[in-house]
Structure 1
């Protein structure tokens, strides 16, 4: 039987780590962000994406990455699409390794490029990912290999100087998306959380606290202290996506967590603020490239 086009799994013993193996992708990802780091290797084909205000091309053998909160898109850059293996890492995972490298305790590494030509790093990431998927590594081995690879990534490619501190409670997300929104221009580089307008920070926090319930634009604008029109413009400029898209992704992220714990899809839809299971299915597919059922299958059996 042919393997599915995409599989997500959480390797045992690696807290804050989620993996995605996908092949032959030809979807066009809309603007989205990850709350954690995303790093992986293109094995076949080519992936194009807009990131940090620049057009990036990740061909086979190259490392592709995004930093927490940075909005980006994605598209096939050749007729065959692309096949890749991705790691999604909670920010604290890299912060711990950076602290061990004397890069500053509790600081998040920053990377200036979304594509790296580093065969050693690429080969190590791909080999570890394959072994994790096959359950071929012991607990100690998988922990040692991951930390060693993250240390190489940071030491070779992180930007020098202080980076924003790790925000309390920050976690990762594997949000992917399809169907870009017509009429939207280039993706702006998101301002770091400490430098974004205070009104936007208040709006983000308000949406996080109420992700599963209806929030009107007027209510959000009052909380932020701006008019609805000004808030929408400021939020989109600072974050890279509009408030409604931000809230929808928060709901999908919550759904991912519940599905990973084995909650029934219908219950997840209700708990996360979706109108019904069909609404969850459409949104989940748009932001992850998978249906909720496909995603949940990756957690049906505990990783060895």
Structure 2
């Protein structure tokens, strides 16, 4: 790899999904194929590649989708190169997740990619959110929610999705899910656990919850934890101890969410509310 090219690769421990963010100038890679589905977004520059006997030019915001076995190459036709982010989805994982997410999904569901390159803002946003949550090691429910959002967009036009009707169970689902979150807010809850507790698939669960409370389940759980964090910090508990008690990965993880919500760090909030020294 030359000095002007770089690759940042990570793998999610729960799903095995690899997340990659990379930048290339000139020649990027020779023709090759993967045994995974590739879903990516071009961030900057022009990403040129050949696949299925056609040449493609992906520019910022465009989404590229490749099936297992699709042979492709890559290079940068402009002097500034290109930057992209991508997820590698295992076909077996995908089949399991589609059946868990959608009750209507046929057995052994897979994606059939008709358009390798597409301009779809909703899919681009969902892809970026899934990448960020996995690559950044977010809470389990946050990662799973982002992946569900990606799968929702990837399957949006499939026939079995378009024939979904209203579900009479939904009025009670949001209430049951909210009670479960309050009772288990300190645990590393997954959407699959929440769906099992409410008796519907993850897709219906998320829709019902957001309609009832204005937030997705993962966002509601984060707010529950942050609310408790404020009380603990105001009582004088150190940020690191608060993060450990509430199930955040570490103090910096708590800090990122806290700043997003309140515009200040946990340490600053503790100092202002408790009048205690930092240590």
TM-score (norm: length of structure 1) = 0.47
1:184-203 correspondence to structure 2 within 5 Å: none
For 2:117 and 2:145, the matched residues in 1 are separated by 25
1:274 is aligned to none
Partner of 2:117: 115
Q: Distance in 2 between matches of 1:86 and 1:39?
A: 6
Offset at residue 3 of structure 1 (A): 11
Residue 88 of structure 1 corresponds to: 88
Q: Is 2:129 the partner of 1:127?
A: yes
* Offset, 1:24: 4.0
1:4 Cα offset (Å): 7.8
The answer to whether the 8 A contact 2:39-2:64 is kept is: yes
Greater C-alpha radius of gyration:
2
Contact 2:67 2:112 in 1 (8 A): yes
Q: What CA distance in whole angstroms lies between the structure 1 residues aligned with 2:25 and 2:106?
A: 38
Please give the secondary structure, in 2, of the residue aligned with 1:155: coil
Secondary structure, aligned partner of 2:68: coil
Q: Distance in 2 between matches of 1:96 and 1:54?
A: 32
Measure how far apart 1:129 and its partner are. 1.7
Change (3 A) 1:113 1:6: same
Structure 2 residues without counterparts, runs of 5 or longer? 161-252, 254-279
Instruction: Give me the whole-angstrom Cα distance separating, in 1, the residues matched to 2:143 and 2:134.
Output: 7
Q: Are the aligned partners of 1:25 and 1:83 in contact in 2 as well (CA < 8 Å)?
A: no
CA 1:91–1:25 in 2, change beyond 3 Å: closer, same or farther? farther
1:154 shift after superposition? 2.0
5 Å matches for 1:142-291? Answer: 142-156=143-157
Residue-by-residue CA offset, 1:86-137 (whole Å, 9 max, x unaligned): 10111012223443443421132111121111111112222332343333x2
Hey, what's the Cα distance between the residues in 1 that align with 2:70 and 2:54?
A: 12
Change (3 A) 1:56 1:128: same
Matched pairs, number = 157
Counterparts of 2:151 and 2:68, CA distance in 1: 15
Q: Tell me the CA shift for residue 11 of structure 1.
A: 2.1
Corresponding position of 2:58:
58
Deviations 1:213-259 (Å, cap 9, x if unpaired)?
Answer: xxxxxxxxxxxxxxxxxxxxxxxxxxxxxxxxxxxxxxxxxxxxxxx
| CA distance in 2: counterparts of 1:52 and 1:103, whole angstroms | 28
What's the CA shift for 1:12? 3.3
Q: Compute the displacement of 1:62 (Å).
A: 0.6
Indicate the structure with greater helix content.
2
**Structure 1 unaligned regions, length at least 5:** 162-303
C-alpha change, 1:69 and 1:109, in structure 2 (3 Å) is: same
Which TM-score applies when normalising by structure 2?
Answer: 0.51
In 1, the alpha carbon distance for the partners of 2:89 and 2:38 equals 6
RCO greater where, 1 or 2, for CA within 8 Å and sep 6 or more?
Answer: 1
Closer, same or farther: CA 4–69 of 1 in aligned 2, 3 Å: closer
Distance 1:50 1:121 in 2: 22
Change in CA separation of 1:144 and 1:3 when aligned onto 2, cut-off 3 Å: farther
Partners of 1:9 and 1:108 in 2: CA distance: 24
Query: Structure 1 residues 3, 132: CA separation in 2 closer, same or farther (over 3 Å shift)?
Result: farther
1:139 aligns with 2:129: no
Deviation at 1:36, TM superposition (A): 0.9
SS of match in other structure, 1:35: coil
